[in-house]
C-alpha cells in the first residue's frame, strides 16, 4: 500500500513538472528559484530530461547568478545519466575553466573523467582520475578513481600498473565501501589472472564472491574463478564453480562458456561421461556459439578417451565440413588420423596424413605428418621405421612428450632397458600430466624389474596404484607387487596384495594366476589348508593351463595328506576328456595317477597311466623318467607272477 501511495505521488509530481514546462512562460521569465527547485527535484527523482531543460533555461536567463557553477555541475550529471557523454564532457570542461570556481572541483574532475571513459578517450579519463588521487587524497572520489584507473590500465594491457592501483584501493588505510570493494577485488583477480598469478587471482575472486552484494559482478566473478581453477588444475572445484554459475544465473550470456568450462573440468577430472552430457547440452542449446568448433573438438576427444572411435570420427568430420578454415583444423586432422589408427583403418589414416601435408606450408604441418607416420609405424610394431620420426620430433614442443614416450617404448621392446629409463625420466620430469603416464610408469617398472632393481620397480608400480586407479595397468601392478614379495619370502604381505587384486578384479585373468602363484607358495610352506583355498580360485580360471596347474597342485596336496581318492579326482580333472600331444600338465597328471595306483596296489592301472603319460609328453627327460618307472613296474609284475 505504501509503495502504491509513493508511486501515485511521484506520478502527480511528474504531471506538475510537465504542466510547468508546457505552460506559457510569463514575459518576465521564470524565477531563478523556481527553475532551480524544479530542476533539482527532477534530478533527484531521476527525471533527467526535465532537469536538463530547467538547468539550461536557468543558465540562459541567469548567467551571472551565484548558483551557476552548481547548476552547470548538475546539468553535466543530468547529461551523463542520459548517456549524452560528449555534451556532459563539454559542460564539465567549461565548469573547470569558469571564472566562478566550483568548490567540489574533484567531483568535476571525476565526472569529466567518467564522461571521457565512456567516449573511449582513455587518455583524458586517466588525467582526470590522476588529478584526484594526486591532489585530493581525502576526496570521496579517491577510491573510485583508483578503481577506475585500475580498470583503464587493464584495458590497455598494463596489468602490473592495474594491480598497483587496485591494491592501493584495498589498502589497510582505505575504508572502502562493500560494493566498491567487491568490484575492485573482481578486477584485481582479472589482472592477476592475466599476469599468470593464478593462486593470488583465485584468492581475490573468492573474496569477491564472499563479499558480493545485490548488484555486484557475481556472475562474471564465478566464471573467472572457474577459469582460474582450470589454470590451477583444480578441476573438481572448477566444475563446482561453473555449476554454481549455471544454477544461479540460468539466463546468463556466459552460459555457453560456463557449460564448456564445466565440461572441460569434468573431462580433466576423468569424468568423461558427465563431461559429454554437458557438451551435448551445449551443442543442442547453443548451436551458433562461437565456441562450437572447440565444443565439437572436445566431444571428439572424449569419445576417443572412451574408446568410441567411430563416434569421434563422425564428430571430427563434422568440424572439418562446417569449419574448413578453423585454426584447429590441423589438430582435428591429427585426432581423426589417430581414430583411424585405433580402428585399424590404415588406408584412411594415410589419406589424413596426405591432407595434413597439403595444408599451407609450415613447420607445424610437417611435424604433424611426421607424428602420424611415427604413430603408424609404432602401431604396426615397426620400431626401426618409427624411431627416425620420433627423434625428429624430440625438439618440437607439441610432440616432444609423445616422442619421448615412443622412443622409451621402442627401447623397452628391443631390450634396451637403460635407454628406455632415460627417456621415461625426462618424460616424467617435463610432462608430469602426460596422458599415458600410467603406461609410462608401467614400462618404467618393467624396465627396472628386468634390470633386477626391484625397489625402483616397486616404486613405479605403487605410483600407478596410488594415482591411476582406473588404469588398465593397475591390476598388473598389484600382481607384480605380490610376486616381488612372494619372491622375497614375505608370504603375509604378498597375501595382502592378492586380496586387493581379487577384491577389485575378481574375474581378471591375473586374479586366477595370482591365486595359483600364492597357492603354490603355500604348498611349499606346507600350509595346505590355505593353499587349497587359493587353488580353488585358480581352478575356476577360463585359462585351461592355469586351471590344470591348480588341479595338479591340489592333487599333490591330497597325496601328501594321504587322501588318495581326492588326489586321483584332481588329476583326472587336470587330464580332461581329450588331452592333446604335448600337454605337459596332463602328462604329469597321468604320471602321478600311475604313482598313486601303484601305491594302492593297482599295478595294471599304474602301467596304463604311465603309458598314457609317455604318449602325451614331448619332453625327453620326462619320457626317460616315466620309462624307468614303467620298466621297474613291469619287472615287479613279472616277478610277482
pLDDT at 210: 84
Claim to verify: residue 339 and residue 257 sit in the same structural domain: no
* One-character DSSP codes across 573-619: HHH-SSPPTT-HHHHHHHHHHHHHHHHTT-HHHHHHHHHHHHHH---
Q: In terms of domains, do 192 and 233 share one?
A: no
Residue 347 lies in a domain: yes
The single-letter DSSP state of residue 230 is H
Q: What is the pLDDT, as a whole number, of residue 341?
A: 82
Q: Which residue has the higher pLDDT, 412 or 609?
A: 412
**Res 576: pLDDT:** 87
Residues contacting 409, CB < 8 A, separation 6+: 378, 420, 443
Q: What is the structure's pLDDT at 24? A: 40
Of the ranges 59-68, 299-308, 328-337, 457-466, which one carries the lowest mean pLDDT score? 328-337
Please check whether residue 159 lies inside any domain of the structure.
Answer: yes
Tens of pLDDT along 362-402? 556 667 778 877 887 887 788 898 898 899 899 988 889 99
| Least confident range of 23-27, 190-194, 299-303, 491-495 | 23-27
> b/e string for 476-491 if b means 16 or more Cβ within 10 A?
bbbbbbbbbbbeeeeb
**Rounded Cα distance, 110 and 99, in Å:** 20
Contact 616, 626 (CB under 8 A): no
Whether residue 198 sits in one domain with residue 129: yes
* Structure confidence at residue 282 as a pLDDT band (50, 70, 90): very high
The answer on 169 and 98 residing in a single domain is no
SS3 assignment, position 527: coil
Cα gap 264→158, rounded to integer Å: 30
Q: Confirm whether 499 is domain-assigned.
A: no
Helices (H), ranges, 325-436: 329-342, 346-357, 363-379, 383-392, 397-413, 417-430
What share of the chain has pLDDT > 70, as a percent? 92
Tell me, yes or no, whether 315 and 332 share the same domain: yes
The answer to whether residue 415 sits within a structural domain is: no
Q: Give burial (CB, 10 Å; 0-12/13-18/19+) of 158.
A: middle
Task: Give residue 635's pLDDT band: very low, low, confident or very high (50, 70, 90).
Answer: confident
Report d(CA 459, CA 539) in Å as an integer: 32
What digits encode the pLDDT tens for the residues 39-89?
999 999 999 999 999 999 999 999 888 888 899 999 999 999 999 999 999
- 255 and 298 in a single domain? The answer is no
Mark whether 302 and 277 lie in a shared domain.
no
Q: Is residue 603 over pLDDT 90?
A: no
Count of domains in the chain?
5
Q: Given this model, what pLDDT does residue 357 score?
A: 65
> DSSP string covering 203-270, please?
HHHHHHHHT--TTSSHHHHHHHHHHHHHHTT-HHHHHHHHHHHHHH-TT-TTHHHHHHHHHHHHHHTT
CB atoms within 10 A of CB 133: 19
Domain annotation covers residue 143: yes
Query: Mind listing the pLDDT tens digit for each residue in 123-153?
Result: 999 999 999 999 998 889 999 999 999 999 9
Are 57 and 77 within one domain? Answer: yes
Residue 605 within any structural domain of the chain? yes
Domain boundary among the residues 44, 68, 103 is at 103
| CA dihedral sign of residues 210, 212, 218, 223 | negative
Closest by CA position to 236, among listed 274, 190, 205: 274
Whether 243 and 297 share a structural domain: no
In CATH, what number is assigned to the domain containing residue 96? 1.25.40.10
CB atoms within 10 A of CB 616: 24
CB 126 within 8 A of CB 150: no
Cα 441 to Cα 399, 435, 471, 472: the distances in Å are 19, 12, 11, 12
Say if residue 344 is exposed, middle or buried (CB neighbours under 10 Å; 0-12, 13-18, 19+): exposed
Residue 366 belongs to some domain of the structure: no
98-112, 400-414, 555-569, 595-609: least confident range: 98-112
Closest CA to 282 of 293, 271, 272: 293
User: Grid coordinates representing 504?
Assistant: 577389485
Which position has the higher pLDDT, 431 or 619? Answer: 431
pLDDT in tens, 507-557: 999 999 999 999 999 999 999 999 999 999 999 999 999 999 999 999 999
Asked whether residue 19 carries a pLDDT value surpassing 50, the answer given is no
Q: Report yes or no on 379 lying in a domain.
A: no
Q: Can you give the pLDDT at residue 205?
A: 93
Which of 284, 303, 325 delimits the end of a domain?
Answer: 284
Is 202 found in the same domain as 128? Answer: yes
What's the maximum distance between 2 C-alpha atoms anywhere in the chain? 159
Coil, helix or strand at residue 122? helix
In contact, 518 and 495? CB cutoff 8 Å: yes
In the prediction, which pLDDT does 239 show?
95
pLDDT at 342 over 60: yes
Cβ atoms 235, 265 nearer than 8 A: yes
**Rounded Cα gap, residues 325 and 209, in angstroms:** 40
Which of 330, 359, 388 is where one domain is finished?
Answer: 359
Comparing CA positions, the residue from 579, 630, 635, 581 lying closest to residue 607 is 630
Question: What would the DSSP string read from start to end of 361-375?
Answer: S-HHHHHHHHHHHHH
What percent of the chain lies above the pLDDT cut of 90? 61
Cα–Cα distance list, 283 to 131, 259, 280 (Å): 50, 10, 5
Evaluate if residue 503 carries a pLDDT over 90: yes
Q: Give the pLDDT of residue 641.
A: 53
Q: Hey, what's the cell of 231? A: 589454470
Query: Would you say the C-alpha torsion 515, 521, 523, 525 has a positive or negative sign?
Result: negative
Residues 82, 127: one domain? no
User: What is the Cα–Cα distance from 282 to 273, expressed in whole angstroms?
Assistant: 14
Q: Mean pLDDT across the stretch 312-336?
A: 87
Which element (helix H / strand E) includes 154? helix 142-155
Examine the domain organization and report whether 198 and 279 are in the same domain: no
- DSSP label at residue 501: H
Which cell numbers in the block locate residue 564? 588318495
Rounded alpha-carbon distances, angstroms, from residue 60 to 317, 559, 609: 70, 123, 129
Question: 616 with 590: CB under 8 angstroms?
Answer: yes
Could you tell me which residues come within 8 angstroms of residue 488 by beta carbon, excluding any fewer than 6 positions away? none
> What Rg, from alpha-carbon coordinates, does the chain have?
41
Set of cell numbers at residue 330: 590441423
Domain range enclosing 176: 122-212
For range 264-280, the mean pLDDT? 92
pLDDT digits (tens, 9 = 90+) for 406-443: 999 999 999 999 999 999 999 999 999 898 999 999 99
Q: Which of 117-131, 173-187, 504-518 has the least mean pLDDT?
A: 173-187
Q: Are 102 and 136 in contact (CB under 8 A)?
A: no
Amino acid at each position: 500500500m505504501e509503495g502504491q501511495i509513493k508511486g501515485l505521488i511521484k506520478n502527480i509530481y511528474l504531471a506538475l513538472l510537465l504542466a510547468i514546462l508546457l505552460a506559457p512562460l510569463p514575459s518576465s521569465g521564470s524565477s531563478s528559484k523556481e527553475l532551480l527547485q524544479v530542476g533539482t527535484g527532477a534530478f533527484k527523482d531521476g527525471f533527467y530530461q526535465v532537469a536538463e531543460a530547467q538547468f539550461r533555461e536557468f543558465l540562459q536567463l541567469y548567467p551571472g547568478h551565484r548558483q551557476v557553477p552548481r547548476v552547470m555541475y548538475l546539468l553535466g550529471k543530468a547529461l551523463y545519466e542520459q548517456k549524452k557523454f560528449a555534451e556532459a564532457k563539454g559542460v564539465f570542461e567549461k565548469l573547470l575553466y569558469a571564472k566562478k570556481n566550483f568548490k567540489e572541483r574533484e567531483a568535476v574532475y571525476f565526472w569529466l573523467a567518467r564522461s571521457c571513459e565512456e567516449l573511449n578517450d582513455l587518455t583524458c579519463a586517466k588525467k582526470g582520475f590522476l588529478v584526484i588521487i594526486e591532489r585530493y587524497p581525502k576526496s570521496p572520489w579517491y577510491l573510485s578513481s583508483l578503481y577506475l584507473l585500475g580498470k583503464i590500465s587493464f584495458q590497455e594491457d598494463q596489468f602490473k600498473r592495474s594491480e598497483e592501483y587496485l591494491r592501493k584501493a584495498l589498502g589497510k588505510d582505505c575504508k572502502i565501501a562493500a560494493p566498491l570493494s567487491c568490484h575492485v577485488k573482481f578486477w584485481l583477480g582479472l589482472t592477476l589472472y592475466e599476469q599468470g598469478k593464478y593462486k593470488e587471482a583465485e584468492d581475490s575472486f573468492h573474496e569477491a564472491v564472499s563479499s558480493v552484494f545485490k548488484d555486484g559482478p557475481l556472475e562474471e566473478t564465478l566464471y573467472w574463478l572457474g577459469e582460474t581453477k582450470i589454470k590451477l588444475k583444480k578441476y573438481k572445484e572448477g566444475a563446482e564453480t561453473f555449476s554454481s554459475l549455471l544454477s544461479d544465473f540460468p539466463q546468463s550470456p556466459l552460459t555457453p562458456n560456463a557449460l564448456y568450462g564445466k565440461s572441460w573440468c569434468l573431462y580433466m577430472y576423468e569424468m568423461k561421461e558427465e563431461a559429454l552430457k554437458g557438451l551435448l547440452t551445449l551443442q543442442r542449446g547453443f548451436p551458433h556459439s562461437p565456441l562450437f568448433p572447440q565444443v565439437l573438438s572436445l566431444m571428439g576427444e572424449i569419445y576417443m578417451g572412451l574408446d568410441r572411435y567411430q563416434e569421434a570420427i563422425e564428430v571430427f568430420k563434422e568440424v572439418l565440413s562446417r569449419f574448413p578454415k578453423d585454426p584447429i583444423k590441423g589438430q582435428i586432422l591429427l585426432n581423426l588420423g589417430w581414430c583411424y589408427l585405433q580402428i585399424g583403418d590404415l588406408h584412411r589414416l594415410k589419406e589424413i596424413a596426405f591432407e595434413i601435408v597439403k595444408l599451407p606450408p609450415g613447420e607445424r604441418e610437417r611435424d604433424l605428418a611426421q607424428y602420424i607416420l611415427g604413430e603408424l609405424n609404432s602401431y604396426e610394431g615397426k620400431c626401426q621405421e618409427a624411431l627416425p620420426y620420433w627423434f625428429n620430433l624430440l625438439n618440437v614442443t607439441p610432440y616432444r612428450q609423445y616422442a619421448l614416450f615412443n622412443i622409451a617404448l621402442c627401447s623397452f621392446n628391443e631390450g634396451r632397458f637403460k635407454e628406455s629409463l632415460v627417456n621415461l625420466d625426462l618424460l616424467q620430469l617435463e610432462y608430469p600430466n602426460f596422458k599415458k603416464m600410467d603406461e609410462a610408469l608401467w614400462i618404467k617398472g618393467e624396465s627396472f624389474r628386468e634390470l633386477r632393481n626391484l625397489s625402483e620397480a616397486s616404486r613405479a608400480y605403487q605410483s600407478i596404484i596410488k594415482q591411476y586407479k582406473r588404469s588398465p595397468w593397475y591390476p598388473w601392478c598389484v600382481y607384480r607387487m605380490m610376486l616381488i614379495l612372494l619372491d622375497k619370502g614375505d608370504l603375509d604381505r604378498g597375501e595382502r596384495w592378492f586380496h586387493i587384486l581379487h577384491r577389485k578384479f575378481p574375474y581378471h585373468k591375473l586374479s586366477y594366476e595370482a591365486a595359483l602363484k600364492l597357492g603354490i607358495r603355500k604348498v611349499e610352506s606346507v600350509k595346505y589348508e590355505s593353499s587349497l583355498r587359493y587353488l580353488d580360485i585358480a581352478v575356476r580360471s577360463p585359462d585351461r593351463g592355469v586351471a590344470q596347474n591348480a588341479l595338479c597342485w591340489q592333487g599333490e596336496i591330497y597325496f601328501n595328506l594321504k587322501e588318495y581318492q581326492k588326489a586321483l579326482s584332481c588329476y583326472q580333472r587336470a587330464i580332461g576328456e581329450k588331452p592333446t600331444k604335448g600337454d605337459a600338465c596332463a602328462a604329469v597328471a597321468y604320471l602321478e595317477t600311475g604313482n598313486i595306483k601303484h601305491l594302492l596296489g593297482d599295478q595294471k592301472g599304474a602301467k596304463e597311466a604311465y603309458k598314457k603319460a609317455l604318449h602325451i609328453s614331448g619332453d625327453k627327460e620326462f619320457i626317460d623318467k616315466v620309462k624307468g618307472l614303467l620298466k621297474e613296474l613291469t619287472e615287479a609284475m613279472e616277478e610277482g607272477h
